[in-house]
Amino acid sequence: MKSRGRVQENSVFLGLIVLVFIFGMYGLVKTPQKTSVSENRSLTQFSHFTFSDFLSGKFQDNFEKALSDQFAFSEKIRVKYGEVINNLSDFGIDNMICHNRYIILKGSQYTNAVFNCEDYLMAPPAVLSKETLNVMDANIEKYNHVNNLINTYYYYFDESNIYDFTIGEKIIDIKSLLRERMKGNYTLSSLHYNGYDEYKNYFYKTDHHLNHNGQYQAYQDIVKMMGIKKPLAPNDLVNNHEYFFGSRAKDVQIYDYLEEFEFYNYDLPKHDSFINRKEKQYGHYADYIKHNYTYKRSLNFYGWVYGGDNGEVLFDYHRPEKENLLIISNSFDNPIAPLIAQYYNKTFAVDLRHYKSNLKEDFEFSKYIKDNKIDKVLFIMSSRFIFDKNSNVGLEK
């Protein structure tokens, strides 16, 4: 009974701290502005405090929006506010404050959030601008150009910014949109997850990439889509019991969210690999298994183990009776491309964000497939890929 009483006392104490923080911010905004001349829009006003709105989260949502509009240093304050709210689990009142809510943690480059105050950093639901949607439309036209030239496969999945977990709905159904607008000779498959709990099964806690579960599911889906009879089963799950701090943790400089890095180990047939047309090993699987590295928090296990981002990676299995494959993707294909490559003669994995800088030449799709005698093309695409100009440069040529 005594310990429960202490928890209740702590809960009340921290609740008062949060309220003092909020009302302190009210004091700093002397005369709320109603409109923004530069942006030509109405600004969010602070709502009156009611305890019922505070418990439901309605008051906090309004507070965060109004703070952004009314206070010059809102971004730094929102970080501190998010940290306070996200630590409420230590006091046993996170369910009251955080239930079914995003808490925004602003980083140096990207907006990050947690949902339900759980230990999963993610991008909150996106606000898609007209410019972003125009980029997507232009990229779909590029895919249609590719489809008219060669047999093409697309594997798509939503990142967290496309899903609003508070209402259990997508911001935009990109898979359906692709089916509606794409033409030509193509096949489309996708990684499906329904809601927050399933999302957590496929993605890292502190990184935007697919974890070992998501990677293996994607690999199985792609094999099935491309008519390959049986996927390769992993030997074992490798885990050195060391914490992995991904891109999102590094961006917000918060290292409280702990997960151990682990990956599936496979027996791949013997082959040669070339990075940017120089023979070189792709990835450091064996080094990780042998513990041939010095652990430090800044080590990017995802990029180091799986191989990192390069303009072009070639996997050559020296099987001229089989087809040549071109994979076009971003960093999401790093752990997947080596698995797909085993079924082909030569597999070229191209990241168009780095192609020109790494290879000192422009990428021209029609020329590339002709010069390398490509038989099939596979796109591995997240929502980030579809909204990005640089990931799709040169496909129209």
Q: What's the pLDDT band for 45 if we cut at 50, 70, 90?
A: confident
- Residues 6 or more apart from 155 whose CB is under 8 A from it? 188, 189, 190, 191, 218, 221, 222, 225, 378, 379, 380, 381
- pLDDT score recorded for residue 39: 42
Instruction: For residue 94, report the phi and psi dihedrals to the nearest 5 degrees.
Output: -65, -30
User: Cβ contacts of residue 2 below 8 Å, gap of 6+?
Assistant: none
The mean pLDDT of 152-171, rounded to a whole number, is: 96
Work out the average pLDDT over 69-95.
Answer: 54
Say which range, 65-69, 140-144, 309-313, has the weakest mean pLDDT: 65-69
Distance CA 76, CA 62 (A): 17
The residue assigned the tokens 């013997």 is 270
Kindly report, residue by residue over 262-299, the tens digit of the pLDDT: 999 999 999 999 999 999 999 999 999 999 999 999 99
pLDDT tier for residue 38 given thresholds of 50, 70 and 90: very low
The pLDDT of residue 95 is above 60: no
For the cut 60, the answer to whether the pLDDT of residue 19 exceeds it is no
Q: Which residue has the higher pLDDT, 14 or 252?
A: 252
User: How high is the pLDDT of residue 2?
Assistant: 35
Rounded to whole angstroms, how far apart are CA atoms 194 and 322?
A: 37
- Rounded to 5 degrees, φ, ψ at 198 are -75, -35
Strand partners, 233: none
Residue 85 has pLDDT above 60, yes or no: no
Cα separation, 338 vs 121, whole angstroms: 28
Phi-psi sector, 381: left (phi>0), alpha (psi -120 to 50), beta: beta
In the block, tokens 């697919």 appear at: 210
In this predicted structure, the answer to whether residue 65 has a pLDDT above a threshold of 80 is no
Query: What is the mean predicted confidence (pLDDT) over 57-75?
Result: 61
Amino acid at 257: Y
Q: What mean pLDDT value characterizes the chain?
A: 86
Is residue 1 predicted with pLDDT exceeding 50?
no
Task: Calculate mean pLDDT across residues 62-87.
Answer: 58
Percent of the chain surpassing pLDDT 90: 69
Q: Which region among 92-101, 214-223, 244-253 has the lowest average model confidence (pLDDT)? A: 92-101
Tokens of 44: 């969010």
Q: In whole angstroms, what is the distance from residue 312 CA to residue 377 CA?
A: 14
User: What is the percent of the chain with per-residue pLDDT over 70, rounded to a whole number?
Assistant: 76
Does 59 have pLDDT greater than 50?
yes
Q: Please say if the pLDDT value at position 176 is more than 80.
A: yes
Q: Round to the nearest angstrom and report the end-to-end CA distance of the chain.
A: 73
